[in-house]
Structure 1
């Protein structure tokens, strides 16, 4: 792994894909009594995400403790991080009222952590998309009163695809408000491919799920109807970059070509193989690829947040002039923020 030469500046790393679970949600219960994800903190460094009495997954304190998160960011050379809810917190199968209560509590806590981070964290909240009118109201509150930069949403909304007309009010509001929308697979990829369990769900399901969502956005009319949307997709947009030529061949659209709409999407670098970065830049554009790590769930990937891109350039997979935009500037564009200057 390359090391910086003395006197040579390294671009600031902006991590656009990281997750957060408020410590305050341990005792949350909606008025309806529905069982929604909660956090149980076992000690200073470890805890569990629970759904009812079931352990969803064990977690580390970097998921909820800002001080521990910032220390990890310093160790990894990450200057700025975009935090969004853990995908299980996108409670689309709950009642709309319970989801609204939950979303508001999560967003309030997330915004408080962003304010406490001394400019190191940027927040994307969650909205109860099973009721688009409630989702719009919460998005307006997030973007106004709370100062968040947008929302994380699932690849499907309780089985509703992202190009379903029922979601049109949300897309209209996101464009009007200038909200960044980050699309993340739900249910760990379960149900997206014909085989279930591992390695199928994680290895193929999540990538297929994301590709189906992107297909709806590009070919289903969302980006054509709302061309100023800023949408990012996790995990390098899943399999979409690879299957896109066949989708384009099958679609045969008229008017605005799908290439233009597809290249309006942002994607992250969480593709695990540096060779895949080449296709992301070719397919989506050098201005639309941004760092993503899934922090804090994969410590090794987070530690290599910057070197993954730099080493790809040294291996002549990427051109040198795209390194700095990928490491920092592109994420700032996705968020609608000024580019952070490089640090030495």
Structure 2
């Protein structure tokens, strides 16, 4: 799909929940459901069964409200992906595939109504690789979505599991992007659960572990043109990379340390690190053309409102205007722009 090039900031990490999403017919309470408030149509909640998962406002599901929010903060385009709770790899494959199709059709409808302002990512039932491939092909070729959001693991399988290899090969063949997002709010990624540990450490560790699996497990090496983006600045990976390289030089195959550094620069990462002083390290580690704005809109309002201050702060910490302009606009657009290699 062709995407209109617009002036302003490109936000590579935002979420959307289609209002018309068809509820699943199974009774499992983990299926997410959007319920707008009966008293205030600008408010609502994501529920799992009768449990409120997250209170939300209508910019999560209303395209016009989303565009007004983007206008208020100078956002020209957003890549919108499912809310991570919508990545239902825990479910049986058949209902998960039906749910994914409903999610993807809803996101495609929102993209179509956005007048070029929104770019959509799909979800797929990755617990069934063949079904995931079918859904990815449908999402890209028929719905016009730019690619897919996946979690950091598929239940007990890491992303370098050989059974998942055909999925990554298909994404590469399609020219589809993959955006990797931490799962379950970081629960289970570090030894201590609950807050502030899950949000403060778990999500970052979860993302870095997933990226490291892809880097050391051969996935990135096999598909050098596959565009893979990682939420939250790829977590702790920018800081852990030198130690990982040293570990590979001691315990890995000869030359793996140098190869690891080169492979790092094939990844794309967002700016959701909450401190402008961290952005120069992201540029140093991943490259000036691989860092792109990410706000987690509409879930962390301060990040959406603070994009310009974040970039200005990064300049105070050593990045050039050319670099921050690329982070603000061209890098994100290069990430989602599909060039069909077939």
**Does TM-score exceed 0.5, indicating one fold?**
yes
Q: Which structure 2 residues correspond to residues 94-133 of structure 1 after superposition, within 5 A? A: 94-133=91-130
The answer on whether the counterparts of 2:33 and 2:48 sit within 8 Å (CA) in structure 1 is yes
Q: Over residues 296-322 of structure 1, what are the superposed CA-to-partner deviations in whole Å (9 max), with x where a residue is unaligned?
A: 011111012233113321x14312220
Q: Which residue of 273, 276, 287 maps to 2:278? A: 276
From 195, 211, 215, give the equivalent of 1:214: 211
The match for 1:156 among 150, 153, 156 is 153
1:332 matched residue in structure 2: 333
Give the conservation status (yes or no) of the 8 Å contact 1:11–1:324.
no
| Coordinate RMSD, CA, aligned | 1.5
Deviation at 1:141, TM superposition (A): 0.3
Aligned pairs for 1:128-143 within 5 A: 128-143=125-140
Structure 1 gap ranges (5+): 1-9, 339-344
Relative contact order, higher structure (CA 8 A, sep 6+) = 1
Quote the residue 1:294 is aligned against: 296
The structure-2 alpha-carbon separation of the partners of 1:76 and 1:337, relative to structure 1 and needing over 3 Å to count, comes to farther
Partner of 1:247: 244
Stretch of structure 1 that moved more, 102-111 or 325-334: 325-334
Aligned length: 326
* Kept in 1: contact 2:73–2:305 (CA 8 A): yes
Note the C-alpha offset of 1:33: 4.2
2:304 is aligned with 1:307: no
What TM-score do the two structures reach when normalised by structure 1?
Answer: 0.92
Partner deviation per Cα, 1:2-43 (whole Å, 9 max, x = no partner): xxxxxxxx9620000000111112x5123x444411100103
Q: Deviations over 1:257-277 (max 9, x none)?
A: 111111100000000010000
User: How far off is 1:169 after superposition?
Assistant: 0.9
- Are 1:21 and 2:7 an aligned pair? no
Among 173, 196, 200, the residue aligned to 2:197 = 200
Q: Normalised by the size of structure 2, how large is the TM-score?
A: 0.93
CA contact (8 A) 1:178 1:336 kept: no
| Runs of at least 4 residues off by over 6 Å | none
Correspondence for 2:265: 263
Say if 1:92 and 1:158, in contact at 8 Å, map to a contact too: yes
Conserved? CA contact 2:277–2:313, under 8 Å? no
For residues 177 and 66 of structure 2, what CA distance do their matches in structure 1 show?
A: 23
